[in-house]
Amino acid sequence: MNKEQFISEPIKPVPGSLDTARMASGEPGLPAEFIWRGERLIITRCIGSRRETGPCRNGSPEQYVRRHWYDLLDDQGRILKISFDRNPRGKQKTARWRLYSLTEP
């Protein structure tokens, strides 16, 4: 069994690699490529996704999607757990995508 390595670092989508098909259902466009530590992560398949919700910050009873999570397979056979923050705050405003963990094949 392969061990999952905790990363929790920002990653940058490669311009022009955005899959806009998911946007019709309210999800962010999932990039097909990211840059992490100077390495290009090429996504070959999405093997799972989920949403993290939270209460309205203004006191109403509605629940809002705060973060989207994706389990992705890359071209090297690694499993990447990636998140997209819908409302980043503070210094993280431009770092919406994060590589949470990586599992080697």
Q: Could you state, in order of their start, the residue ranges of all structural domains in the chain?
A: 4-103
* Identity of residue 90: G
Residue 95: the pLDDT is: 67
pTM, to two decimals: 0.85
Q: What is the pLDDT of residue 76?
A: 96
Predicted pLDDT at 93: 60
d(CA 84, CA 68): 5
pLDDT of residue 58: 82
Cβ–Cβ < 8 Å for 8, 83: no
Q: How large a percentage of the chain has pLDDT more than 90?
A: 60
Contact 68, 54 (CB under 8 A): no
Altogether, the residues listed in the chain come to a count of 105
Q: Can you give the pLDDT at residue 63?
A: 85
Q: C-alpha 47: how far from its chain's center? A: 13
pLDDT along the chain (105 residues), means of 10: 90 90 83 96 96 84 89 97 84 79 95
What are the backbone angles phi and psi of residue 45, rounded to the nearest 5°?
A: -165, 145
Residue 90 has a pLDDT of 63
